Each structure stands twice: as C-alpha cells, then as structure tokens.
Structure 1
C-alpha cells in the first residue's frame, strides 16, 4: 500500500519516465538472456536428419576446408567442389585419413570460368544422392583495398561471377532434390562487409556482391521454410584465411576451424546469423557508433592496406 501511495503522489511525467526506463531495462535483459542462450546453451541440430550427403564449394582452403572436416566428423558424406583437382585430391585424402567411413566425391568447377558447365557436373555427381546440406563457401574478394575506378574489368567480372552467379546457380541446382525430399539446409557465406558494418569503402564491388547474397538468402529462407528447407546466410567478420590475408587467429579473428565449429551450431536456425560470438560482439559495438566515426577509422585503415598492396605490386613489376 505504501508503495502504491508513493507512486500516486508522483507527477505523471516522472511515472512515464519510470515506466519507459523499466521497459528498456526489461528489453535489454531479455535480449541479453536470449543472446547468451543462442551462443552458449542452444543445442545444434542433427545435420544428418537433412540427408546423408553434404556439398561444400571452395573446400580446399580456409573456412571451406574446415567445414569439410567438421561435416565429416559428424558422419556426413561429402561432395567437394573446387577448380584445382590436385588440391581436391589432397583434401579428400586428408579427410579419409581421419574419417575412413566417409564417402567423398569431387567435382572440378572453375567458378570464374564456365559456371553452367560446372553446375552440370554437380548435377551429374549428386544424381541419386540424398544431399541434405549445401554450403556455398566459394568466394572472392579484392587482393587489397582499391578505389572503385582502379578495379579492372577482370576483377569486377570475377567478383560478380564467383560471389553472385556461382552461389545462385549452385543453390538452384541442389535445391531441386531437397524439394523432392522436403528437407535440406543451405548455408550461403555472406560477409560483415555487407551486413554488420555501415559501409565497406575500397571494397565496393565485393560488398555489393555479398549484399546480394544476404538478401537472396533471406528471400529463400521465407520462400522454402514451409517446404522443410532451412536457408541461412552466415555473416563472419575477420577469419585467418588466405582471402583475408590474415595469418594468425586471435580473440577477434577466428581460425577457420573455430569458425566452422561455431557455424555448424547455427545451421537450421536464423535466416541471418553471425556464429562466432566475438564477431557478433564487434558488430554490436560498431552499430553503436555514429556512422561518421566508423567511416573515418575504416577509411584510414583501408588506405593503409591500399598503400601496402600498391607497394607490393610495384615490387613484382621490378
């Protein structure tokens, strides 16, 4: 009674502020608890329930290679798709040495070349297979930061062909079999450059291509959810791979193995996610900054990368 009397005696504006503040605290608490559950307590799905085979594009290095090993560890048979037959054989042999019961098929496909021919080979390789998981990992970025007018025609063509056309056509080819069985999981690799940060200057075509992947995936997620197919765009930030030119992993830079483990825990859930929790934390902090502040530091960092890249190019020409 005393508490009720106390509140009744307060001015209306103070009660409104108290109510709004309480709602904000409640909202923050619920968001925090939900996030902690998702990243640390939520169980991963049994990927074998989607089917006994998984397809990984770009599995010869980095994240794709780590995904291949993790999927084999979970007992899935693999279809590995990449352009270099020697590297495909090397990865296949390495996986078989650790997981002798796993069946592996390889498909040679140059994502920067004749995509339609490569897709045809994929269709032939998976005919009759129960393909439950597709990971569209094959991707391409800039060799280093560049102004848009410095990006040559070959690089523009490769960025669009590999990131956009390759992802689109491989997805369409594999989706048909999933629809027939009414189950499947598709993971398209996006980028923090398109989804977590306000802008990604000096990598404009890459960021644009990954923005396409992000929106493409969200649309498919809604289109096919009722058909038993889970479509997801994973959005990493920095991972220590050849493509990012980062050699060592750290708290904010995931190792390929660390990212792949986190990534598979999220398969089948959200339409868009950032599985590696330090990346999600970084994205949250960046989103809290004014865009002008972030852009200032981002441009400064990108220009340093551009300067180093140009110096490296000039040395090659000497």
Structure 2
C-alpha cells in the first residue's frame, strides 16, 4: 500500500506517527516521574520560627483519609492539629497518635463544618487557636455527607440536606482557608493541600450535589494557586484527585485500584512540589481514569450508570447499619 501513496502523503503519515509516538512517550515518562521517580519537597515546610517547629492542620481527621494524613505528617516530623466535630473521638485519636509518635505534639480543633459555617466567631476562634503555633500546612480533607445518604436522586434530596453537603464540601474549605490564610502568608513557605474527587469528572448518578462541590473545589484550588502567584506569596496550593479508597466508612477490600487510606495519604504527600495545581494522588487511579476516558462515550455512560446504581445500594445498606 505504501508504494501507491504519494511521497508527500507518506511523509505526512511518518511525521504524524512520529509526533504521536513522541507525545505518548513523553506522557508516559511524565507519569512515571510524577508517581515513582521524583522526590517530594514536603521538608521545605518544616522550617522553625519563633513559635517553634512546624505544624499542620488536618480537617476531618478523626477517620479515614484525614486520619491517614495526620499519621503520615506526624511520621514526617510535623506537629499536628486534628480537626473534627466529635470531642470524644478527637481526644481518643490524639491519645493514640501521641503514643505512636511521642516526639510529636498534637492538639485538637473542635468545629462542626456543617453547623458552624455561618458563625464568623467560630472561624475567628479557630484562627486564634492556630495563631499560637507555627502553622505551615493546611490539609482541607473534611467532606462527605455528615451521616446523610451520599447517593440520592436530586428530586428526593431535601433542601436542608443540599445546604449541609454544600457547606461541608465546598464552603468550609474556603472559609477555613480564608481564616488561616493571613497566618500562612506570614509563615511562608506554606502549603494548602485540598482533597478532591474524580466524581467531579465522571457524572456519577445520585451524587450530583457532592460531585458539583468537588468540581467547585478543583476550580477554587486552581484559582487560589494562581492568586498566590499573582500576590508573590510562597504558598503551594495542590488539589489531589482521588477515586475509590478503602476507609472505615466505606470498608472496601483493598486492591490495585482501591488503596487503603494510608496508602492514599502516603502517595498524596509524594506529589508535593510537583508544580501542578491538580494531580492524581494515587498512581493506579490515574491509569484507571485514562482507561475510562479512551472508551466510547456510550460505554462510559453505561458504566457510570451501573456504578452509580450499585453505589447507591451500598450506601443505603451502610446507612441502615449505622442508623
């Protein structure tokens, strides 16, 4: 067949093939470098000040991914403020963490992300508590449905539940960051790590409110990252995309595409300093997403519909067990 093609056509096909091969080779190398080769720059945020050694605040830290980030940061020498709404659970976790990391300091921040969102005094109080330490890292992890069903048809979701989910997942990260940003700016270099979700990209049914919040979280992360550059402030802002993770509340079996919360936190921290504003926290989630995105749209849609239906059933079963 090559013999019947004009020389110009053969040249064009050769060039296109070469460009395509180069593009995918570079993309593969970039993926391998990001997830397996490069070293993170987390240690640059461990600088001391007159307030002492570096501290991190992890919101939603009593369970799952938040607790895993608290453990990982403590293991890397950061003192940690753990945030939650349940004082008893926070104190229990603080005690366990202190036993595991005797050289690290831990404090608790009690604040209900859903109920205190409109209480400016609560945010001022939190900012005052954290002003006593050398705050260098903020992990905006708090999220979820606060005991409500995560998967529900939109027309069945009461308005007060919509507000609660939006307050927890979209408004609270913005408000707590706003309250702490003056301190982070003063303590720079500093880090803001936002825990996002691939649900914002896949259009999963019954998850429209949560997914829209995570889409907003990603957009906000990119915007605030640009704002720090525009202001000339040395604050890194990174949004971590995550997919399925085995946690206390979602007790999935760990597998190639379902890491434990501790694995997710460990890989997530490895992305610090990568130069991107949004990145997959876990290497297999990126492979999974790219495999999905190359499928024809009708196959994508059917797969997402099936996943959403099953997740809805699983969510209802979990809710019945805890209620």
Query: By how many angstroms is 1:30 displaced?
Result: 1.1
Partner of 2:16: 20
SS state of the match for residue 237, structure 1? coil
Partner of 1:256: 261
SS state of the match for residue 266, structure 1? coil
Q: TM-score, normalised by structure 1?
A: 0.90
1:184 paired residue among 181, 184, 190: 190
Partner of 1:47: 43
What do residues 122-146 of structure 1 show as CA deviations (whole Å, max 9, x unaligned)? Answer: 2121113211110000001462522
Q: How does 1:298-317 map to 2 (within 5 A)?
A: 298-307=304-313
Contact 1:55 1:134 in 2 (8 A): yes
Contact 1:108 1:118 in 2 (8 A): no
Distance in 2 (alpha carbons) for counterparts of 1:183 and 1:135 = 15
What is the aligned residue count? 308
Distance in 2 (alpha carbons) for counterparts of 1:256 and 1:73 = 15
SS state of the match for residue 57, structure 2? strand
Q: Which runs of 4+ in 1 moved over 4 A?
A: 307-317
1:139 paired residue among 136, 143, 154: 143
1:202 paired residue among 195, 201, 206: 206
2:168 paired residue among 139, 162, 168: 162
Distance in 2 (alpha carbons) for counterparts of 1:107 and 1:310 = 31
Partner of 2:51: none
Query: By how many angstroms is 1:69 displaced?
Result: 0.7
Query: By how many angstroms is 1:107 displaced?
Result: 1.1
2:28 paired residue among 29, 32, 52: 32
Contact 2:77 2:104 in 1 (8 A): yes
SS state of the match for residue 245, structure 2? coil
What do residues 217-241 of structure 1 show as CA deviations (whole Å, max 9, x unaligned)? Answer: 0001111133111001111000012
Q: From the superposition, tell whether residues 313 and 101 of structure 1 become closer, same or farther in structure 2 (CA, over 3 Å).
A: closer
1:88 paired residue among 87, 90, 103: 90
Distance in 1 (alpha carbons) for counterparts of 2:322 and 2:98 = 39
| Runs (5+) with no aligned partner, structure 2 | 48-53
SS state of the match for residue 270, structure 2? helix
Query: By how many angstroms is 1:309 displaced?
Result: 5.1
Q: How does 1:172-251 map to 2 (within 5 A)?
A: 172-195=178-201, 197=202, 199-225=203-229, 226-243=232-249, 245-251=250-256
Partner of 1:79: 81
Distance in 2 (alpha carbons) for counterparts of 1:281 and 1:312 = 29
Deviates more, 1:186-195 or 1:147-156: 147-156
